[in-house]
Amino acid sequence: MPSVVKINALTVPTEQREVLEKRFASRAGTVENSDGFEWFELLRPVEGTDQYLVYTRWRSEEDFQAWMEGPMKAAHQGGGGGEGGGERPKPAASGSSVWSFEVVQQAAPKQQA
């Protein structure tokens, strides 16, 4: 069964880039222990777009969905307490869309002897 790739394209205004990157850095480790997780990359745009790409690779669609319904959902609901207290920070992105792919070919550098 081929791996599954999810790319979340986040539209991020220039003034929010640092905020977005810090938020991802502070969450380091939240996805790495998820069953079926294979890879993560946060890609910063260099020119021609204001979209960051969040690349994750999973063993299966089921593993991705389990993460979305468990750890991901909990992280986005915030771990604060209190009745309506604890203000959630404003999202750094102004828009988002998720693209789904199956890996059909891949290559890695050949090991030099």
Q: Which domains does the chain carry?
A: 4-77+91-102 (3.30.70.100)
Q: Which residues pair with 98 in a beta bridge?
A: 8
Whole-model pTM: value is 0.79
pLDDT per position as a tens digit, 67-78: 888 867 666 665
Intra-chain end-to-end CA distance of the chain, in Å: 31
* Residue 2: predicted pLDDT: 85
* Residue 88: predicted pLDDT: 65
Q: Are strands 37-43 and 51-58 parallel, antiparallel or unpaired?
A: antiparallel
